[in-house]
Structure 1
């Protein structure tokens, strides 16, 4: 697809300038519109970039398509298919290159056709004398004929014919190679002609020869061997076509520019229309007069003439004469050439075949679509393979974007958000090629549960984390990955699908253009929209309840609102479209996966692992000393309180646990397993490391518990607790895999278990759980952070409302009953509404005097 406007531009540089100018203009306009509509930066930037890339792709595809077509055509030529041609509609340098490529393809096709015709012609020419020779020899062997002079002469004639054909083919091989050179000297013309006539008489044809040279002592600079070959071929053709007792006249004379040689016979002659054809390869006189011959002699004669810088052609016979008359015109000084010109080479090589031995055309090569720029960019990691365009997929993603543009703006998370997520997931899964995979189905079910948190929980932090985890699980299921690197590559591939899917989107757009011809579908859409609009307006004006319902569905179309909704439509629709293409054509995320090459010596992996084990043992010894020494020992040695001591190392222990998993993974890949001892050392060293890591996990969890008891419970501390527990669960999974030495199931189990634990946090109502523990701590110690409790979501309200009346306002101050519509309905906010009531707008002063911890 090319742009007619850009096709008229005669410079690639100007085209690139226009491309950049248009893309920058589009990006500027979109960014300006976003600024007018108060669109957030995190939303306007990706939408602007996406639209600019789309415009760039639309304009650039016509500029680069000839190059892609040339690449595909060149691959076809390598397989023997010379029929491909390149679209050359542009006027720039690329268009000139395309036209030159087409000319080259035509020339190569002609050469290939000539090669196949040459094989067919040579086979045909060899078949006749070989068949005759075989027949004579079979008769002699079988005793049917006696080895008399006649039979032997017949056999000898056929053998000589084969020998002459072989010599002619060798000469033509020199023509094709372009390596013939002249060795010129002064040649007496009369002596040369008489020697050629003497050799012609040996053939035994009943023909007379008349040689005339003017002046008799004429000498010319020429290659004597080549010139003799030329004259011999011409005399052979003349004597063959002369009648019995006929006369062959050979005349040579000087001219103003050189010298001239003519050979005339008394045969049937050559029609004017066939005179050029007889000089072509296998262009025998039989084509013109029904005679015989191989058809190579005159082709070689023209080649020798051209080597000397002269010409050879047939002219009309002399007045009152019949027969053929060939004339050679040669210059005074031969213009020696090491290679014949393209024109002469084509004349010598070109000859159509009219005999039964037709060449077999090459098998058609498999057609292959031109490789796009995206194919060259992503290569084997993400081949497109001509994925057919799917209009339904594009329309479904567009519908999800429109739904998001209507529902999401100016609303909190709730039923509307879940409806958008549900529609997006359905559209993505419907077109996924892996939708029958059990892993993909499990991921889809888990994503559904994670998306449902926006309806159940008001705490945005857990809802957002669930949505992010759902996205990770979604891409892993779409590519049907099996390893952690595959999951990471899948996450990277999702945004890259916006680029990789552009060719597919173009094919889908072409299919959409085909749907425009469906007048019935267009009429149906128009009449449906008109009916809904007319009757909707009538009923909205007639009934207030219907008007309220319609107002809840139909979005506000003021300028700011319209711009924001448009950006959200493009943003959400683009994300869903990228995920749909990812499921429709997943990349080869497992291409680089495989068994690592083990080390040659055991100590290369064992020594580092044993040293890590030793470090873990020393650390655990220090922990045991702290536990047995008590708080006083810790304060005396470190100068820190026990709570400060345990808080100081929690983050480091979490990192150490994660790094331990990395050490186990690396060692398991590099450790050889050829002997029983290798397996024993592997299980023993890594098993000890995993056991020590579990102790570290328990220590980390204990440290966090002590710190929470001292300073209270928060969302972050709860999340870190669960993360550390998940790492411990992974360590247990690694130990289980080490028993069987099979860990293919572990990456998927890690992904699903992590998302499931996050879902479990949402299920226990984390804000309510944190509020309850802080309330319990307040009851026991009288310490609480009222400001922190006020920042919890409405999920915590049922717990905080159970506080005594004098302190309930301290925890619930600043909360207001929301006026959400049904699309924002959320279970957490719904349960909190009757408990909030009328609360103070700020924290009462009495609360500030209460102890805080």
Structure 2
């Protein structure tokens, strides 16, 4: 049974519940958005936090609305397998709760019917076996001549046959009960005459057994009722036969009938051992006999009293065993009937499922249905199943710890040492709980991620730090999900934000398990007293000692209300990101998907002809390039009317795009080309190898064009990135050629990912801003041309190069901040913002007061003289 608290159970309408759920979610979203806006929280932080909290409130309030439906679905599945003992939670007061209670009643009814069916088979088999065995043995003795054919022997056989006939009649009656096909034929019935007649018949039938049970009948002569004579006789017969059966030899069965208010009453009392109050209701069940070993009657089909209750119900009456008069033995059954049959106002409650416990029977406790799988499990289906993950308290604690650390370290600070510390802590938390943490690929990704996390501590240039962080995130999800193909890497990246939704059931189980953690109260008290002691004594010592106060200010951020709210937002955001990545590692999705086997074409020309045409185009392009190289600038201008600088700028983007398309052509051809014969493999290697070689020449041409363009127009970050990207494409072409030699390419996607991250890391280690500054100054020394404004916008990483290569006003102008007012002075940063680039810049520019480059600054003369 679900133990999740259901906060809207008291609401009696599903519509009202939905309205309250929407209202609560909207109010939470408005409140959180307002707090974030007033506190100046960035939208990229506040929006995910708002959505997560609103979704959490919705999940918390909706779980009680949907869990009964999921439980009923699970219970229905178990019932189709024959388990009718399940029960669902029915705590709410709305329509779903009413449905759950009706479902439970239906389950109890089906359980009772199923139990009766099994009892019917078992008891009928037992009841039939006894007379059949006796009759078979008697007939065999008669046939073999062991027993002479006498009237007594035939009477014994007749008695067994009559017992079988009586059982068959009772079963037919019960079949009519179950089918509802038992209409009443009402007529006046003199009760006294009926009782006397039935009692005489039964007494005469039992006289031959030698038991000698006597009967007394007491009924007024004027008691005439409207009833079905046949059914009423069946009722009296069954009650008297039951009383005789359970009375000892020489006992007396008393039968009485008399008028009562709004009807009449029939009472039958035997002289047997009686019935315990706990068993009085159960004897009316089918085959609910209570055989007493001290009586000699025994036997019976166990259906007589069930039929008696059915006849009573048909007439609109009631039947029950009551306490006999004081001082008298036996059992007393009382039947209250109307003077005329009336319809039954309400059906009899379903029979209670019984469990045999020896001499008595007790009701079987309902078996609660197992907790159903959350709706989210069905939403993600086979793509993302969850394989029995238990509460992850350590993972939750690690994510919250990283979130708190990030909230204390990162807000209001630039990239630096603090960023690296948070990244390493987050990566360690994710790797600790990853399922594939020990595989070589995951460990390689983890090592590269750690190296990329060091970039904020080494460099000051945001434009290189941000791509390194994004590459680290891509490596992280690829490593913990153990992807192998490019689509798998893409799906892994998409799955990271989706993990926040997929992991909600596990988060709910983890939060629910917090209350069951051993020593939870002791841990909470320890944390509370520790924090209190730290705050109190920290404040006292900070107010008593100036040095200690400086240390405290450096370690503890400003916790005013205007800074607490953004830090809380940031803590939630980072904790959610880390928790989603942790869930991704704990339970990676099925990103591999169904394996697709390449389907080669039937004829070689179908793939070879397009590839050879592409080869021809590449060869023609290379011939054109050679013509330009050997023809020189005059030939180019005479032929195209373009200068060499315009020519190289015009085609660089197209060459880069052509390189990417070439890789796609190689991939498509390799999937479609058959490799069954040596000839097939030779053609494949030759045609694609020629294409790859031509592509390498194109890559070299593109890099050469960019080099010429930079010589003409200067060096910039974008041009350097394009150079690096084109070079990486050349590396990919080389790896494709290596794969083509052995015709094995499964390792290519992971190699492309790792080499791409490695190239980006290498660019960061190169110190790109310093490289750009150095090459622009080289160009300035050769041509006298430089973009001073662009140099001013470079990060602190370029400051040592600018200070070393320039002097005088040129140095001050190159270091000026074009956006600063008043003039910007290079100063050491907060220790959590420390990075190697800013530290070296501060050392190199120590003592320099750098002016702003606005109107009236010292840079105006330099800028005016710039070409």
CA distance in 1, matches of 2:268, 2:541: 106
Residue 424 of structure 1: SS of its match in structure 2?
helix
Which residue number in structure 2 is paired with residue 594 of structure 1? Answer: 595
CA distance in 2, matches of 1:271, 1:451: 83
Closer, same or farther: CA 624–732 of 1 in aligned 2, 3 Å:
same
Which residue number in structure 2 is paired with residue 829 of structure 1? Answer: 838
Closer, same or farther: CA 684–152 of 1 in aligned 2, 3 Å:
farther
Closer, same or farther: CA 612–674 of 1 in aligned 2, 3 Å:
closer
Cα deviations by residue, 1:449-495 (Å, 9 ceiling, x for unpaired):
00001111111111111111111111122222222222222211221
CA distance in 2, matches of 1:820, 1:172: 94
Cα drift, residue 740 of structure 1: 3.8
Residue 300 of structure 2: SS of its match in structure 1?
coil
Which residue number in structure 2 is paired with residue 212 of structure 1? Answer: none
CA distance in 2, matches of 1:672, 1:303: 80
CA distance in 1, matches of 2:46, 2:353: 65
Cα drift, residue 831 of structure 1: 1.3
- Asked if the contact 2:6/2:61 (under 8 Å) is kept, the reply is no
- Asked if the contact 2:270/2:332 (under 8 Å) is kept, the reply is yes
- Asked if the contact 2:392/2:510 (under 8 Å) is kept, the reply is yes
CA distance in 1, matches of 2:456, 2:466: 8
CA distance in 1, matches of 2:542, 2:390: 44
- Asked if the contact 1:309/1:330 (under 8 Å) is kept, the reply is yes
Cα drift, residue 409 of structure 1: 2.2
Closer, same or farther: CA 234–568 of 1 in aligned 2, 3 Å:
closer
Which residue number in structure 2 is paired with residue 819 of structure 1? Answer: 828
2:719 maps to 1:717: yes
Which residue number in structure 2 is paired with residue 847 of structure 1? Answer: 862
Moved more, 270-279 or 742-751: 270-279
CA distance in 1, matches of 2:60, 2:690: 59
Which residue number in structure 2 is paired with residue 582 of structure 1? Answer: 584
Which residue number in structure 1 is paired with residue 223 of structure 2? Answer: none
Moved more, 625-634 or 274-283: 274-283
Residue 87 of structure 2: SS of its match in structure 1?
coil
Closer, same or farther: CA 618–229 of 1 in aligned 2, 3 Å:
farther
Which residue number in structure 1 is paired with residue 444 of structure 2? Answer: 442
CA distance in 2, matches of 1:98, 1:766: 67
CA distance in 2, matches of 1:774, 1:172: 104
CA distance in 2, matches of 1:395, 1:650: 51
Instruction: State the aligned residue count.
Output: 831
Residue 100 of structure 2: SS of its match in structure 1?
helix
CA distance in 2, matches of 1:101, 1:351: 20
Cα drift, residue 39 of structure 1: 2.2
Cα drift, residue 61 of structure 1: 2.6
CA distance in 2, matches of 1:588, 1:786: 53
Which consecutive unaligned segments of at least 5 residues does structure 1 have?
A: 209-219, 249-256, 317-321
- Asked if the contact 2:459/2:837 (under 8 Å) is kept, the reply is yes
Cα drift, residue 14 of structure 1: 2.1
- Asked if the contact 2:826/2:842 (under 8 Å) is kept, the reply is yes
2:617 maps to 1:618: yes
Q: 1:838 aligns with which of 849, 854, 857?
A: 849
Closer, same or farther: CA 4–330 of 1 in aligned 2, 3 Å:
closer
Moved more, 825-834 or 520-529: 520-529
Which residue number in structure 1 is paired with residue 659 of structure 2? Answer: 657
Alignment of 1:130-141 (within 5 A): 131-132=133-134
CA distance in 2, matches of 1:663, 1:704: 25
Which residue number in structure 2 is paired with residue 505 of structure 1? Answer: 507
Which residue number in structure 1 is paired with residue 96 of structure 2? Answer: 94
Which residue number in structure 2 is paired with residue 728 of structure 1? Answer: 730
Cα drift, residue 830 of structure 1: 1.3
Which residue number in structure 1 is paired with residue 606 of structure 2? Answer: 607
- Asked if the contact 2:269/2:331 (under 8 Å) is kept, the reply is yes
Which residue number in structure 2 is paired with residue 294 of structure 1? Answer: 301
CA distance in 2, matches of 1:159, 1:641: 121
CA distance in 2, matches of 1:39, 1:755: 31
CA distance in 2, matches of 1:703, 1:352: 90
CA distance in 2, matches of 1:646, 1:354: 96
CA distance in 2, matches of 1:809, 1:114: 100
Cα drift, residue 353 of structure 1: 6.8
Cα drift, residue 2 of structure 1: 6.1
2:252 maps to 1:282: no
Alignment of 1:294-313 (within 5 A): 294-296=301-303, 299=306
Cα deviations by residue, 1:198-228 (Å, 9 ceiling, x for unpaired):
9x999997899xxxxxxxxxxx99999x999
Closer, same or farther: CA 396–768 of 1 in aligned 2, 3 Å:
same
Closer, same or farther: CA 462–271 of 1 in aligned 2, 3 Å:
closer
- Asked if the contact 1:88/1:96 (under 8 Å) is kept, the reply is yes
CA distance in 1, matches of 2:741, 2:107: 64
- Asked if the contact 1:817/1:833 (under 8 Å) is kept, the reply is yes
Moved more, 226-235 or 277-286: 226-235
CA distance in 2, matches of 1:679, 1:362: 72
- Asked if the contact 1:428/1:576 (under 8 Å) is kept, the reply is yes
Cα deviations by residue, 1:605-653 (Å, 9 ceiling, x for unpaired):
9636642541352244034224314444444444433333333233233
Cα drift, residue 92 of structure 1: 2.2
Cα drift, residue 25 of structure 1: 2.2
Closer, same or farther: CA 201–50 of 1 in aligned 2, 3 Å:
same
Cα deviations by residue, 1:739-771 (Å, 9 ceiling, x for unpaired):
444433222222111111111111111122222
CA distance in 2, matches of 1:620, 1:427: 52
Cα deviations by residue, 1:795-834 (Å, 9 ceiling, x for unpaired):
2223223325354344333363133022221111111223
Closer, same or farther: CA 275–718 of 1 in aligned 2, 3 Å:
closer
CA distance in 2, matches of 1:134, 1:677: 87
Which residue number in structure 2 is paired with residue 455 of structure 1? Answer: 457
Which residue number in structure 1 is paired with residue 33 of structure 2? Answer: 31
Cα drift, residue 447 of structure 1: 0.8
Closer, same or farther: CA 264–652 of 1 in aligned 2, 3 Å:
same
TM-score w.r.t. structure 2 length? 0.79
TM-score w.r.t. structure 1 length? 0.80
Cα drift, residue 147 of structure 1: 8.5
Which residue number in structure 1 is paired with residue 484 of structure 2? Answer: 482
Cα drift, residue 155 of structure 1: 7.4
Closer, same or farther: CA 624–323 of 1 in aligned 2, 3 Å:
closer
Which residue number in structure 2 is paired with residue 16 of structure 1? Answer: 18
Cα drift, residue 300 of structure 1: 6.0
Cα drift, residue 386 of structure 1: 5.1
Which consecutive unaligned segments of at least 5 residues does structure 2 have?
A: 215-225, 254-261, 325-329, 818-823
CA distance in 2, matches of 1:373, 1:514: 25
CA distance in 2, matches of 1:745, 1:827: 36
Residue 801 of structure 1: SS of its match in structure 2?
helix
CA distance in 2, matches of 1:467, 1:342: 72
Which residue number in structure 1 is paired with residue 820 of structure 2? Answer: none
Which residue number in structure 2 is paired with residue 802 of structure 1? Answer: 804
CA distance in 1, matches of 2:864, 2:748: 53
